[in-house]
Structure 1
Amino acid sequence: METGNFLGQIPTQLPEELFHVLAAGDGMRIERIVSKGHTSPAGYWYDQPENEWVMVLKGEAKLRFEQDDRVVHLAAGDYVNIAAHERHRVDWTREDTETVWLAVFYQEAGE
Structure 2
Amino acid sequence: MTHIDNLYKMPNPTENNEIFSTLFHNETLKIESIRSNLKTPGELYDQDQDEWVLLLEGEAKLEIGTQTREMISGDYLFLPKHTLHRVLSTSENALWLCIFSS
TM-score (norm 1): 0.81
What is the CA deviation profile of residues 44-73 of structure 1, one whole-angstrom value per residue up to 9, with x for unaligned ones?
Answer: 42000000000100001111112xx11121
Counterpart of 2:37 in structure 1 is 36
* Number of residue pairs matched by the alignment: 100
Richer in strand (by share): 2
**Which residue of 67, 71, 83 maps to 2:68?**
71
2:98 corresponds to 1:103: yes
1:74-85 matched pairs, under 5 angstroms:
74-85=71-82
Runs of 4+ in structure 1 off by over 6 angstroms are none
Distance in 2 (alpha carbons) for counterparts of 1:63 and 1:37: 11
Alpha-carbon distance change, 98 to 34 in structure 1, aligned in 2, over 3 angstroms? same
Does structure 1 retain, via aligned residues, the 8 Å contact 2:29–2:101? yes
Equivalent position amino acid for 2:76 in 1: Y
**Structure 1 stretches lacking a partner, 5+ long:** none
Which structure: larger Rg? 1
Counterpart of 1:86 in structure 2 is 83
Q: Secondary structure at the match of 1:7?
A: helix
* Shift in Å, 1:38: 4.8
Does structure 2 retain, via aligned residues, the 8 Å contact 1:34–1:99? yes
TM-score (norm 2): 0.88
Identical counterparts, % of pairs:
32
* Shift in Å, 1:36: 1.2
**Structure 2 stretches lacking a partner, 5+ long:** none
Root-mean-square deviation (Å): 1.6
